[in-house]
Chains A and B, each alone.
Chain A
């Protein structure tokens, strides 16, 4: 019966403000009808990429947002998920659904083992440590002959739609990533009001105080780190079949780790809908800017813009869009002379 409790909790959004619930409902509705309304191929790929990055941002929120542990190596789990699907498919012609558990299991196992070490580190040390671990994995995948190194893996082509190998039509892929996105959202929604979620927020605010209250700090952090790796690996598995080609540059690179943390930071780290807003701002901006600049654009322009955004947010508004909204609400209440006592934090409890 416990499982029903968890599912009920995952679908409970009652602590969010009315505006937030309406926004979420509108978003889900828009995702559901999108392929029927929009026929433009480019807009459809942007929508898929938005859902993909939003999902990865949600995965970051478990450990980075609610836990306050700045993970700068999120790409490695995406890579494990992608290679878990792609490698057996290329080598032995295994279907998607056999490769998926392998990739996810590897991501969890790796996060468990390394997490037991990494998560003893605090603050900067953890951030640098995750960066180092991700760089080691990237190098190993680049130089290992078994993973086909930097040449990458081209998935065998099947006739779409093929549900065994998950090679779908564009509309099929839209609903596939939408389902994964909703699953991640529900998981994070359960997580933030679970015991584990409260433990992580306590750790984020003051690790020593959390430990003195009897929280097993390391165990809690490792659990959240592993959950985060599952969600990221699912995203990676999707990426492999969606693009049909992966290499260390596309699924393990530092740039991807940065993007993952960025989506959460821009929207609001530690806020349920933060990564969704972050991806909604960043992905269309990036894809349409890239399309406008075309091939003759300035190299690395997108990351130059991200860098400015990161610095401005860090200096002025570390809570991103969520922080801006909070400040705005507070300012309006004060301007109209109303009490701010009953004010709820943005993004629920």
Chain B
């Protein structure tokens, strides 16, 4: 029973990070019906931003989180203004290939700049530390990543629900035309959506640096996990992203434990396939 509890907790912790990742993607999807293939690459560059801050500026991985947030936001803004904005007027094939090309560009750009070596943080407040809570031994780095992700998720959720900007974003997602008639600058909402997506992915990346290796090709795995999470939660649904994130985290750890660690991604991809096939609107999706 203890093993199940241990695995369950580690699944939930990882799941909260997935939820934060899915949040950015689902907001972008909700606003403009576009999938960002480069989302995992935003996370990967957030990891590098966090790691490089740790390695060259201040030897504490957590200090890299705000830096990674800024880098991610900048990436999102640049990606939207330089590429995505132009794709929106093109045929569907251009929209798919466009962000797919961006994904390749960031992936292989990082490979050219940073080299293929895996890097990881070896010291820091929570690196390789244990946390004992009521008889349970937890990985402190994962707890901090999960708590940070949950906090950021809550912050974005409140922003979406309580602020004028958040309501404008939601209105754009609900009905673009109507939002424009109400005087909302929908073009600007797109930009803000991408900035938000980039910033959250970047910060999620920096939080992972505490316990996850950094490499140029890590983005693909996270992209696929995020797609699965968003599909499971329902494209465009924010609460769905939270629930689905935790579910995907649980599926991942239990597959690794029960079947084989090597097949955990295969199982997650299969989940994606089954969800889009049999319940395309996901758990909480509107459509």
Contact = CB atoms under 8 A, between A and B. Distances in A.
Contacts of B101: 307-311, 314
Interface stretch (B135-143, B152-160, B207-215, B263-271): B263-271
Contacts of A313: 94, 97
A303 B104 contact: yes
A156 interface: no
Given A72-B100, A303-B108, A315 B90 contact: yes
Contact of B104 (A120, A121, A128, A258): A258
Interface in A130-151: 131-133, 135-136, 139-140, 142-143
Contact of B273 (A133, A299, A309, A318): A133
A117 B273 contact: yes
Given A307-B108, A315-B86, A123 B276 contact: no
B273 to A, nearest CB: 6
A308 B109 CA distance: 10
Interface residues of A, number: 44
Contacts of A306: 104
A310 B101 CA distance: 5
Interface in B94-123: 94-98, 100-105, 107-109, 111-112, 115-116
B63 interface: no
B93 A68 contact: yes
A160 interface: no
A131 B266 contact: no
B277 A117 contact: yes
Interface string B237-263: 000000000000000000000001011
B35 interface: yes
Contacts of A123: 92, 96
A41 to B, nearest CB: 29
Given A125-B276, A299-B116, A314-B87, 4 more contacts: A117-B277, A128-B272, A133-B273, A300-B107
Interface of B: 34-35, 83, 86-87, 90-98, 100-105, 107-109, 111-112, 115-116, 216, 220, 224, 227-228, 231, 260, 262-263, 265-266, 269-270, 272-273, 276-277, 280
